[in-house]
Amino acid sequence: MQLTERFTRAYEAGDVDAIIALFSDDAWLTMPPAPLEYQGRDQIVRFLIAIAFRGDRTYRLIPTRANSQLAFGAYVHAPKPGDDRANGLLVLTLSGDRIQAMTRFNGSVLPSFGLPSS
């Protein structure tokens, strides 16, 4: 199974263990322009549990490319079908078969990638 498919399945299922298994040991998670940076699997997993997947939050991902890198439009599932909310653009920097960095941009950039803004 390709990294794209494994990442999509894990992220949409909220499977933090499966997500973090795809990252290199020294990976980075950043969210420009916010000054939030997390380095290493331990810090990234804490962020994913406390913020990204808090409560019952689940996502739908739409694959795309950004600067020749693998990227995904991320949408938070809403209780009512069709009301998913744009969350942001996740851009992955790969090193071999591992994610070396994940950069999350806010949802305002989604239309630039042909993705819905809501």
CATH of the domain at 64: 3.10.450.50
Q: Tell me which residue range forms the domain holding 32.
A: 3-107
- Higher pLDDT pick, 80 / 71: 71
Least Cα distance to 13 among 65, 70, 57 occurs for: 57
Query: How many domains would you assign to the chain?
Result: 1
Q: State pLDDT tens for residues 27-74.
A: 999 999 888 899 999 999 999 999 999 988 899 999 999 999 999 999
Query: How many Å apart are CA 95 and CA 73, to the nearest integer?
Result: 21
Q: Is 39 exposed, middle or buried (0-12, 13-18, 19+ CB in 10 A)?
A: middle
114 domain-assigned: no
pTM of whole model > 0.85? yes
- Domain assignment present for residue 112? The answer is no
Q: Which residue has the higher pLDDT, 80 or 3?
A: 3
Residue 79: predicted pLDDT: 78
Residue 117 confidence class, pLDDT cut points 50, 70, 90: confident
Q: Tell me, yes or no, whether 115 lies in a domain.
A: no
Asked whether residue 113 is assigned to any structural domain, the reply reads: no
